[in-house]
């Protein structure tokens, strides 16, 4: 049995539209009347996000002053994961087809591991009929009242919980798009495949030394199966 643990946002869900909508909302909120701004296009904004340019810096680049940029960054943090904006997330191209192929492979145990809260994960599951891919005991996320610390602290704890509860298998793989995924996997001795379809670019991912970097979930699962059994998804 091969276990594939995949992050949700990035490998499965494209969050770029949500993040861009929140960027525009925050700019509109802190802008002074008549203040000229340099509004970034979505591709410009997303490139900055993927290269981890700080929120405050993005605000300054958009024409805000120092005080406004601080407000902008704070408002962004308060807003970006709220339910009204989650509706802008959409499945990454090819992700659902990949999950369907995995579901038909009897030797694969499919697990989702995300720092979304229960209600946030359920919202996407309901919107895109994704619950069918993950049994209820194969969903690892944060409780609705969980007090978050940082992603790189919370994700390894979630991994620890999963490994304590799930039955042992011959091979376990983690697929993710951030440093939190890489650190969680490495902390627990799991092979990690990073994907480029999420919120970090190759340069950022390389700093944390994932075992492999590929383009998307489909390539990641193909690689995991090849390396585990010499088998390729049919």
Kind and range of the H or E run holding 168: none
Reduced to 3 states, what is the DSSP secondary structure of residue 34? coil
Q: Please check the confidence at residue 13 and state whether its pLDDT lies above 90.
A: yes
Query: Is 192 in contact with 206 (CB distance < 8 Å)?
Result: no
Reported pTM = 0.94
pLDDT tens profile 54-76: 999 999 999 999 999 999 999 99
Reduced to 3 states, what is the DSSP secondary structure of residue 152? helix
């Amino acid at each position: 049995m091969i276990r594939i643990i995949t992050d949700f946002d990035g490998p499965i869900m494209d969050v770029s539209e949500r993040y861009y909508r929140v960027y525009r909302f925050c700019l509109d909120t802190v802008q002074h009347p008549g203040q000229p701004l340099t509004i970034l296009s979505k591709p410009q904004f997303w490139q900055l996000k993927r290269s981890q340019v700080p929120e405050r810096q993005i605000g300054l680049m958009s024409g805000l002053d120092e005080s406004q940029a601080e407000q902008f960054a704070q408002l962004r943090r308060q807003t970006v994961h709220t339910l009204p904006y989650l509706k802008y997330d959409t499945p990454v191209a090819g992700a659902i087809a990949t999950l369907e192929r995995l579901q038909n492979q009897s030797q694969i145990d499919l697990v989702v591991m995300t720092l979304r809260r229960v209600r946030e994960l359920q919202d996407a599951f309901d919107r895109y009929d994704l619950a069918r891919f993950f049994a209820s005991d194969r969903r690892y996320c944060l409780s609705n009242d969980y007090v978050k610390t940082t992603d790189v602290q919370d994700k390894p704890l979630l991994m620890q919980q999963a490994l304590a509860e799930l039955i042992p298998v011959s091979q376990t793989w983690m697929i993710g798009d951030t440093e939190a995924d890489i650190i969680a996997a490495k902390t627990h001795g799991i092979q990690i495949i990073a994907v480029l379809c999420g919120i970090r670019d190759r340069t950022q991912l390389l700093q944390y030394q994932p075992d492999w970097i590929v383009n998307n979930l489909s390539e990641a699962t193909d690689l995991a199966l090849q390396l585990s059994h010499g088998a390729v998804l049919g």
